[in-house]
Amino acid sequence: MRPKPKKSLGQNFLVDKNIQEKIIQSGNLKKSDVVLEIGPGRGELTSFLLEKVKKVIAVEIDSSLCAILRDKFSGYQNFELINQDILKFDIRDFIKNDKKLKVIANLPYYISTPIITHLFEHREVIKEMYLTLQKELASRLTTGPGSKEYGSISCFIQFYSDAQILFPIKNTSFWPAPKVDSCFLKLKILSKPKVRVSDEQLFFKLIRCAFNQRRKSLKNSLGSLLPEPLLKDCLKSAKLKPNLRAEDLSLADFARLANRVNQY
Ligand code: SAM
């Protein structure tokens, strides 16, 4: 019997077989891969994964789905199921000596951003992520300067990874169908961040501060971070006009500015 989807856990199951296959093909899976699947649900993608890779570590919060999955995949030696909230799962600690993971997930919408942040906090044990996300969030993660969707999360993601939308997914591919469409996204973790910064904490603090008041010019939005004469000086030496706004700046621009600020 099909268990009733729990809305509170973001259970919109991917039922479109063509999309399931497209996802599996896009993951460029190898026999030597170790895959972390977040929210395996009823195990539809998991079935494909188990045939293709060395090991699938599946983290599912819903105990009733875990019971089904345990039963369904009892014959597979390469299946490891963890009944836990992914946000409380220490990926780094768990995989220890294993090689770097590929993450594959159709993420529950209600906590997609915290899960992505959690994954990036464990990025040293991850090589690639393949994620199904709400279309709007996928655009925010992949867009650059000049766009209204460009924000601190775009900078954070693109600092550590190459982010690319692979294909759109219609809401009707899911059961029950959510109100919004989705996208399938690839995030390839970089061996070193895209731009050089002397103090990452300061770099992200400055980005957040600039985007918190995104309609204001930098000379105003960054006013709480630095005294005005100093800010003016840093903007000038980073070759940035004080009337620019956060959304005008590329990662390299933010890096130049943060590195100047860090010199004072
Ligand atoms: N992978 C399945 C599919 O594609 O049909 C299910 C995807 S469904 C959008 C999201 C899944 O994540 C559900 O199985 C849900 O129970 C699970 N989930 C929700 N919150 C979670 C959490 N904090 N940690 C782990 N799994 C979670």
Question: What's the pLDDT tens digit per position in 55-65?
Answer: 999 999 999 99
**Are residues 105 and 221 located together in one domain of the fold?**
no
Q: Could you read off the pLDDT of 9-24 as tens digits, one per residue?
A: 999 999 999 999 999 9
CATH number at residue 238: 1.10.8.100
Indicate the number of domains in the chain.
Answer: 2
Say if ligand 1 is within 6 A of residue 177 CB: no
Which of 163, 189, 215 is the endpoint of a domain? 189
- Residue 170 falls inside a structural domain: yes
Task: Using alpha carbons, select from 187, 171, 183, 159 the residue that is nearest to residue 253.
Answer: 159
Q: Is 246 a residue whose pLDDT tops 70?
A: yes
Burial class (CB in 10 A: 0-12, 13-18, 19+), 74: exposed
- Residue 195 falls inside a structural domain: no
Q: Which domain holds residue 68?
A: 7-189
Q: Whose CA is nearest to atom 19 of ligand 1?
A: 9
- Residue 2 falls inside a structural domain: no
Average pLDDT over the chain, rounded to whole?
Answer: 96
- Residue 131 falls inside a structural domain: yes
Model pTM? 0.96
Among 70-74, 80-84, 162-166, 223-227, the minimum mean pLDDT is found in 223-227
Say if ligand 1 is within 6 A of residue 182 CB: no
Which of 158, 189, 220 is the endpoint of a domain? 189
- Residue 194 falls inside a structural domain: no
CATH number at residue 147: 3.40.50.150
Q: Could you read off the pLDDT of 121-153 as tens digits, one per residue?
A: 999 999 999 999 999 999 999 999 999 999 999
Say if ligand 1 is within 6 A of residue 43 CB: no
In angstroms, rounded to a whole number, what is the distance separating the alpha carbons of residues 193 and 130? Answer: 19
**Are residues 130 and 222 located together in one domain of the fold?**
no
Which of 138, 169, 189 is the endpoint of a domain? 189
Name residues whose C-beta falls within 8 Å of residue 89's C-beta, 6 or more positions apart in sequence: 59, 82
Strand ranges in 46-199 using DSSP code E only, listed in sequence order? 55-60, 79-83, 101-106, 126-134, 161-169, 174-175, 182-189
Q: Is 264 a residue whose pLDDT tops 90?
A: no
**Are residues 123 and 252 located together in one domain of the fold?**
no
